[in-house]
Amino acid sequence: MPPVSADAIADCVLTAFQALPAKYKPRSLPDGRKEWTILAGIVLSREKPTPALKCISLATGMKCLPRSKLAEAKGNVLHDWHAEILALRGFNRWLVDECAEMARLGRKGRHEWLRWRHTRSRSDGTGGERSGRHEDELQRALDGVQHTDEHEPEHESTTGREEDTMDDALEGSQPFALHPEVKIHLYISSAPCGDASMELTMSSQEDSTPWATAPPTDILSGRGNFDLLGVVRRKPSRPDAPVTWSKSCSDKLALKQCTSLLSGVVSAGESMGLMWPGDCYLSTLVLPEDEIVPEAVERCFGHGPTGRLRTLTGKRWQGGYTFTPFTVLGTDKVFAYAKPMTPPSATGVQQTANGSNISALSTPTRTEVLINGVLQGRKQNDLKGASSVSRRRMWEVVRALQETLATTAGTIAPTITPTNTTKNPEPAGQHTSDGALKETYKSVQLSSAFAHRRAVKEDVWSTALQRWNRNEGDDEWRL
């Protein structure tokens, strides 16, 4: 069977978005114009046992959080809700939701896309299913962290018939993985901001001559210094907008060729982990045909003579991480809410289209509308406004599932070993007098469970993606 086509991937996402209610879409304005936005979606495909193609996560959005607001976010506010980044976060949340469902069903359960990595039980090494009592414990834990769902449709019946296998050669202890024949695809209705679209940005200017300004000493702005290509950039913004240190989507997708599409809390090693990263690399990136500049794509994502990732060819790291380049394909499919190319009005003035201020997020298990990085109708400092894909909610649900898996397998709860240990480090899982966890999000990120992932990023940042200033400041908080 031939590989899935770019048009089929695009259609899968476009059809899923079209099926959403009107409140998830840009508005039609009184003067007849439509607001516009960018759409992105993660699609899974497989050829066995029967061919299947499914949109797992889709999102719209074009904004990010200013650096000055990071300290106030407290894990509740998204840092970056550009469509492709939000879709990736939705994909990670869907994986966690499905891992929870698999754990509830026990090892007899089969899933269309995921599998158990190990056949042996952590308790006695003999395998077998968890008891009904353990499944009840897991459900109670998960019920306590299922937040912000607007609706939760029933799961479709799964048909996967993949037998459980023991991955003897794999490192770490993540109990779940994708079936090995599953491919991951990403459709974006516009070329990602940053290096992959710099030629498009230049051609859209009245004067495309590179600005004669000295390069900044820190990370480049999203649209500045056109003469510098193949470099890490911040998200583009208006000159008068507050500065953000969120990296461009081009840079983040380039890094994902090394770290996989999994987030840190989902792919952590040791007893903290859920998903094996080795099967979670992007296979295909689908973009509009007329927004693909071949030399820009090769420079940004490639590993050939002109590719900025050429030093990573054949690279392998500990923890299942490898340099895994994706293929970029073009499609002629058109997103109905793409930025319009409006003709001049009768007065000869170019009409300005309005970008939508809402972001939509949809997976098979949850759907949300977001404004300014939180749920629509909530303030950024309101805990109830945290999206299901925010740092706080992801840490909550992953931790609950990790602890329940450890408990039902007869082992101790996950242990965190901070890299900046003190003489009397506080054991993980302990609580303060007010019931909050003693460890902060930062201490978790610095724990030994994240060591392999940190090593990958630091290696890439020191070679292929230099001047990657970390977007720090939203990590000194607890659950």
- CA atoms lying within 13 Å on the CB side of residue 142: 19
Query: Cβ-count burial of 221 within 10 angstroms (0-12 exposed, 13-18 middle, 19+ buried)?
Result: middle
Cα R_g (the chain), whole angstroms:
22
Q: How many other C-beta atoms lie within 10 A of the C-beta of residue 306?
A: 12
Residue 112 annotated among the catalytic residues of the structure = no
Helix pair 294-301, 249-259: axis angle to 10 deg: 50
- Which DSSP symbol is given to 252? H
Let me know: does 386 contact 147? Beta carbons within 8 Å.
yes
> 402 — phi, psi (to 5°)?
-60, -50
Q: How many other C-beta atoms lie within 10 A of the C-beta of residue 200?
A: 16
Query: What's the gap between Cα 281 and its chain centre?
Result: 12
Please identify which residue in the block is written with the tokens 């306590």. Answer: 144
> If you write DSSP's letter for every residue of 432-445 in order, what string do you get?
-TTS-BSS-HHHHH
Helix (H, G, I), strand (E, B) or coil at 85: helix
User: Cα angle vertex 445, ends 439, 101, to 5°?
Assistant: 85
- CA atoms lying within 13 Å on the CB side of residue 169: 2
Catalytic residue, chosen from 84, 98, 162, 291, is 84
- How far apart CA 333 and CA 354 sit, in angstroms, is 22
- How far apart CA 293 and CA 355 sit, in angstroms, is 24
Q: Look at the chain and count its residues.
A: 479
Helix pair 132-143, 83-105: axis angle to 10 deg: 150
Give the closest residue to 323 by CA, choosing from 287, 285, 286, 277.
277
- How far apart CA 274 and CA 140 sit, in angstroms, is 19
Helix (H, G, I), strand (E, B) or coil at 363: strand
- Dihedral sign for Cα atoms in the order 248, 249, 254, 255: positive
Helix (H, G, I), strand (E, B) or coil at 413: coil
- How far apart CA 261 and CA 253 sit, in angstroms, is 9
Catalytic sites, residue numbers: 84
